[in-house]
Structure 1
Amino acid sequence: MTSDDLIAIALGMPGTRESAHFGKRDFRVGEKIFMSLPQAGRAVLKLTPGQQAMVVETDPGLCAPVPGGWGAKGWTSLYFDSADDERVRDLIGTAWRNVAPKALVTATMN
């Protein structure tokens, strides 16, 4: 999977817009960031701490907590270069659902 693939997936999520955070590309629903691209081959996703623990345990080479306090809040590095496309799509969708307004999430699930 490439950065362009990731960007297309993120922008395909309802209500998403591209912006920047500390000079790095990010993807938001409203003002809430669900994914950023801090460097080549790595994205950062907004997971819950429980989701993060599960994905790190099941796919240790795919994901890792972001160092420091942000990682403790669920922010998770995703190393996507050689990742399974469906798994990456699922994780981006999870991050989007974590920050999107509940009405928007409900509307997209119907």
Structure 2
Amino acid sequence: MTPDSFLAVALALPETSLGHHQSGADIRVVGKIFASPADRPGGTAVIKLTLDQRELLCAAEPTVFHPVEGMGASRGWTRMVVANTDEATALSALWMAWRNVAPPRLARAHPT
């Protein structure tokens, strides 16, 4: 998967938009950040998972998913090497991250 295709998949999720904060671009659902574009070195994106989700994905796909280091580590932020994944895996991970921050009414409208 390319950084551009990752961004296109992310922006296709409901009520999602590209935003910007102090450290760069981000991907939001109703104003809440759930991912970043894959514009970091090596085509790496960052997604917002729960700690359990992160543990599961890092164990299942160690060449794709890695915990972030520093402050975000305890909040579930996870690095994702998009070049090492396919669209189905990226879409699944993005849906997880999207649901983790989407308002309940919106998440209920788009069940798994």
Q: Structure 1-normalised TM-score? A: 0.92
The corresponding residue for 2:108 is: 106
1:61-101 CA-partner distances (Å, limit 9, x unpaired):
11111101201210000001131221111001110010001
Q: For residues 30 and 106 of structure 1, what CA distance do their matches in structure 2 show? A: 14
Q: Aligned to 2:72, what secondary structure does the other structure show?
A: helix
Larger strand share, 1 or 2 = 1
Alpha-carbon distance, 1:109 to partner: 2.7
Match of 1:94 among 93, 96, 101: 96
The corresponding residue for 2:31 is: 31
Asked if the contact 2:46–2:80 (Cα under 8 Å) also holds between the matched residues in 1, the reply is yes
Q: For residues 65 and 82 of structure 1, what CA distance do their matches in structure 2 show? A: 16
Q: Which runs of 5+ in 2 are unaligned?
A: none
Asked if the contact 1:48–1:98 (Cα under 8 Å) also holds between the matched residues in 2, the reply is yes
Q: Structure 2-normalised TM-score? A: 0.90
Question: RMSD of the TM alignment (CA)?
Answer: 1.5
Alpha-carbon distance, 1:23 to partner: 4.3
1:41-76 CA-partner distances (Å, limit 9, x unpaired):
100000001100111111111111110120121000
The corresponding residue for 2:15 is: 15
Say whether residues 1:78 and 2:80 are aligned partners: yes
Asked if the contact 1:46–1:95 (Cα under 8 Å) also holds between the matched residues in 2, the reply is yes
Q: For residues 59 and 23 of structure 1, what CA distance do their matches in structure 2 show? A: 27
Asked if the contact 2:63–2:84 (Cα under 8 Å) also holds between the matched residues in 1, the reply is no
Say whether residues 1:44 and 2:46 are aligned partners: yes
Q: Which runs of 5+ in 1 are unaligned?
A: none
Provide the identity percentage: 36
Matching residue's letter, 2:53: Q
Deviates more, 1:49-58 or 1:32-41: 32-41
